[in-house]
Amino acid sequence: MAGDGTDEEARNSPHESTAMQERCTEGNMRSDLEAPASPGIEGAAIRCRDVCRSYGKLKVLNSLNLTVPQGQIYGLLGPSGCGKTTLLKCIVGTLKISRGNITVLGKPPAFPGHDVPGRMVGYMPQDIALYSEFTISDTLWFFGRIHGLTSKETQARMDFLIDFLDLPQKNSLVRNLSGGQRRRVSLGAALLQNPRLLILDEPTVGVDPVLRAKIWQHLVDIVRGGQVSVIITTHYIEEARQATTVGLMRGGQLLAEAPPETLMEQRNSLTLECAFLQLCEDSDQMVSKQESSSEGKLMVDSQTPEAYKDERRPILSSGKSPSPADEVPRFTADWKVRVWHVVPKWRNVAALVIKTLVRMKRMPGSLCFQFLLPVIQISLMCLCIGGDPKGIQVAVVNNETSTHSFSRSLLSFLDNSSIIQVNLSHAEAFAGIHNGEYWGVIEFGKNFTSYLTKRMLNPRSSRDVVDGGSVHVWLDLTNRQIAIMLQKKLHDAFEGFVQSKLGSMAYMVAPPIKFEEPIYGSKNTDFTTFVTPGAILSITFYLAVGLTALSFVLERKEGLLDRCWVAGVSSLETMLAHLFSQLLVISVQIILMLLFILLVFKIPNEGSLALVVSLIILQGVTGISFGLVISSAIDDEQSANQAALGVFYPNLIISGVIWPVECIPYPLRYLSLALPQTYASEALRCIMYRGWGLTRLMVWRGFAVTLGWNTFFLILATVILKLRS
Ligand SMILES: Nc1ncnc2c1ncn2[C@@H]1O[C@H](COP(=O)(O)OP(=O)(O)OP(=O)(O)O)[C@@H](O)[C@H]1O
């Protein structure tokens, strides 16, 4: 019996199984199965009429009609790839149908005010769809919270399910369970809230025969009262004999829908498997007949043979065209119900936030890394960017010999921590700078002291005097920062020399421009001061993008998003939960980052700390919501990573974070101003360095633009997620 074989054996297409054919008795090939009386919408747990669904060009469900009566077990059987899972996904509403209609417990799935999806449905998808960092107990608590069970109810159901499904200890991690154990936990999650409709996709795969029998017995028990209905797919065809009705599916349609005994009787078969085989053979023969009558023209798409479809109609039970009584009424909902339907349930949001926190707790290493990463990044930035170059080698050619010369005095004012002076001859100095050993050459003529004195005393000095009384400097300008630093240090040294050596005559050589005390900032302001506010915002933004960009991608891939959706969690609730839980993480990141910046690196803050923190948190929210857009629009990790990284450099460069916006050429500058971090960085600089508040345009504009982006990204992500669910 296939049911005793491996999963692979069980998945084999029935017509490939010759051994099975031999075990079948020759049946009379009656193809006029009587359909059981089809219950109306009220009496049916599930009704599918004329349902079509394709994946691209592949037509998977082809005008399928199916009825699951209330209070029955419906076994949906069919070879691998015939569309069973697709049908179940359409029934629970995670896949949209391209034609036809489906009602579940009397209304279409996701109809406003209807508890489907929600606690009325228990769905066990084919994928395991469990959080691997959860324990068994976490998993059941999570679904219990979503279904609104009390702690007592959840605890009682958990005790029952652990015992009934023969699960290991409840604090065992899902990732450490065997495949079969995980499937049983997944089944437990579907059974947890005692739903009115159970939709089980291959719940018995990998489960030992004893437990399989126990599970079927449980299903038989729960439908006995007539209140609970079950639709179950299985490759172990014989176990479906315990179902009240079986639907035999092939090529996206139902070959037959009847009680198993009726099917076996009418096919004169000893087993359900044989009855199914005969039905398949019948339909194959009809296809061949059709093919030969159409002059050998073969159907190209084996899933959607149109002629084959027409020939098969007589053996379909509920595959008949719907009668007028079958017609689906127009469902309408009151506007208040519609509004209530979209309002997020805080119970679900709380359950999802707790889920994220539990997962974080289970990954302490990753959490610490997340908290420390921004601190490491901002520290590296403060240490490495914006400081003065140090240890720059400069060749000095001093042709004056006297120890009391002006040249020696001037050189003594050069900042030795930045500039290393190497005394050389003219030829050696130029050879060195050409070889890249020195960044500059400073040369004094042999009469520098006397010529400089003459220059000061006589403004009409000859060209030779002016030239001889000047310091001659040749620079390697390939590194602008070093060259600017050398020029500045020389000017500073000259100023120091003039002040100390020339005394009252200093005014004669000083330039006629005097820089007074700065209005904002300090005379020692370095590049780090400029870049820090923008860097804080960028780091917060990109870490938040990184935290969220993969969140839905992985959950969608593992079927967790769909499972939560079927449990009644809306796209908006998912979005809000991600936002709140990531907000907790970025709040800690921001606090740590600010502590380092203000206390360790002594970056000044003249303004309100509350405004600083608010703006950074809002930028974090921008990052989270942008990550959510990526996550909801993209299906695989690689593309999501590419999208997140793809915007990193262009945004960083154009936002004026590392170089002033005023340097950006005009068409690009307009783009820069529209980006989330440009005005926000400017606002943060104004708060921190000018001490400005919200009354200033430059400050509130940064907040307004950030809030605008947040709203736009969150709406966009919700719409995308909703459209794709
Ligand atoms: N996301 C998808 N994109 C494209 N094709 C898909 C997708 N999901 C399923 N299919 C195709 O649709 C067909 C039906 O798949 P489905 O999973 O519904 O079959 P099934 O009857 O449940 O099979 P099994 O018994 O092996 O689980 C298959 O040909 C499959 O390759």
Question: Mean pLDDT, 10 residues at a time, over the chain (725 residues)?
Answer: 37 40 42 49 84 92 92 92 94 90 88 84 92 95 95 96 92 92 93 95 88 90 91 91 92 89 89 88 75 46 35 39 56 76 90 94 92 94 88 96 90 93 96 96 94 83 88 94 92 88 70 83 84 94 88 84 91 90 92 94 94 96 93 88 88 90 92 94 96 96 97 92 76
Token pair of 121, please? 């449905």
Nearest-CA neighbor of 12 among 291, 297, 236? 236
- Does ligand 1 have an atom closer than 6 angstroms to the CB of 85? yes
252: CA distance to ligand 1 center in Å?
10
- Distance, C-alpha 212 to centroid of its chain: 37
CA distance 490 to 396: 12
Q: Whose CA is nearest to atom 5 of ligand 1?
A: 55
317: CA distance to ligand 1 center in Å?
24
509: CA distance to ligand 1 center in Å?
87
Are 571 and 722 within 8 A, CB to CB? yes
60: CA distance to ligand 1 center in Å?
8
271: CA distance to ligand 1 center in Å?
27
- Does ligand 1 have an atom closer than 6 angstroms to the CB of 8? no
- Does ligand 1 have an atom closer than 6 angstroms to the CB of 81? yes
In the chain, helix, strand, coil percent, each to 5? Answer: 55, 10, 35
Q: Whose CA is nearest to atom 26 of ligand 1?
A: 80
CA distance 231 to 199: 5
Residues whose CB is less than 8 angstroms from the CB of residue 711 and which lie 6 or more positions away in sequence, other chains included: none
Nearest-CA neighbor of 694 among 702, 27, 106? 702
CA distance 586 to 583: 5
Question: Own/partner pairs for 710-716, CB < 8 Å, 24+ apart?
Answer: 710/618, 710/621, 710/622, 710/625, 713/622, 713/625, 713/626, 713/628, 713/629, 714/575, 714/579, 714/625, 714/628, 716/629
Q: Whose CA is nearest to atom 10 of ligand 1?
A: 55
Q: Whose CA is nearest to atom 25 of ligand 1?
A: 80
- Does ligand 1 have an atom closer than 6 angstroms to the CB of 269? no
81: CA distance to ligand 1 center in Å?
5
Atom of ligand 1 nearest to the CA of 86: 18
Which amino acid type is present at position 429? A
**From 80, 86, 276, mutation site for ligand 1 pocket: most ligand atoms within 8 A of C-beta:** 86
485: CA distance to ligand 1 center in Å?
67
DSSP symbols for 399-440: ----TT-HHHHHHHTS-TTTEEEEE--HHHHHHHHHTTS-SE
Note the residue count of the chain.
725
**From 7, 80, 85, mutation site for ligand 1 pocket: most ligand atoms within 8 A of C-beta:** 85
pLDDT per position as a tens digit, 119-160? 999 999 998 899 999 999 999 999 999 999 999 999 999 999
Atom of ligand 1 nearest to the CA of 89: 18
CA distance 208 to 361: 34
DSSP 47: E
- Does ligand 1 have an atom closer than 6 angstroms to the CB of 78? yes
273: CA distance to ligand 1 center in Å?
22
CA dist list (Å): 640 to 3, 71, 631, 633: 41, 44, 7, 9
Q: Kindly provide the ipTM of the predicted complex, given to two decimals.
A: 0.97
Token pair of 376, please? 């490491």
**From 8, 55, 76, 236, mutation site for ligand 1 pocket: most ligand atoms within 8 A of C-beta:** 55
The pLDDT of residue 68: 94
84: CA distance to ligand 1 center in Å?
8
Radius of gyration of the chain (CA): 39
Q: Whose CA is nearest to atom 17 of ligand 1?
A: 85
127: CA distance to ligand 1 center in Å?
12
CA distance 149 to 135: 19
270: CA distance to ligand 1 center in Å?
30
The pLDDT of residue 6: 37
Are 143 and 150 within 8 A, CB to CB? no
- Does ligand 1 have an atom closer than 6 angstroms to the CB of 54? no
Q: Whose CA is nearest to atom 4 of ligand 1?
A: 55
146: CA distance to ligand 1 center in Å?
29
77: CA distance to ligand 1 center in Å?
14
Are 610 and 604 within 8 A, CB to CB? no
269: CA distance to ligand 1 center in Å?
29
Are 201 and 88 within 8 A, CB to CB? yes
Atom of ligand 1 nearest to the CA of 82: 21
pLDDT per position as a tens digit, 688-704? 999 999 999 999 999 99
pTM: 0.77
- Does ligand 1 have an atom closer than 6 angstroms to the CB of 86? yes
- Does ligand 1 have an atom closer than 6 angstroms to the CB of 60? yes
Specify the DSSP element, H or E, that contains 46: strand 44-55
| Backbone phi, psi, residue 473, to 5° | -125, 130
528: CA distance to ligand 1 center in Å?
56
37: CA distance to ligand 1 center in Å?
30
CA distance 88 to 197: 12
CA distance 656 to 124: 51
Q: Whose CA is nearest to atom 29 of ligand 1?
A: 81
Q: Whose CA is nearest to atom 1 of ligand 1?
A: 55
Are 616 and 680 within 8 A, CB to CB? no
Number of other CB atoms surrounding residue 518 within 10 Å? 10
- Does ligand 1 have an atom closer than 6 angstroms to the CB of 126? yes
- Does ligand 1 have an atom closer than 6 angstroms to the CB of 49? no
Q: Whose CA is nearest to atom 13 of ligand 1?
A: 81
The pLDDT of residue 391: 94
- Does ligand 1 have an atom closer than 6 angstroms to the CB of 83? yes
CA distance 547 to 586: 9
- Does ligand 1 have an atom closer than 6 angstroms to the CB of 13? no
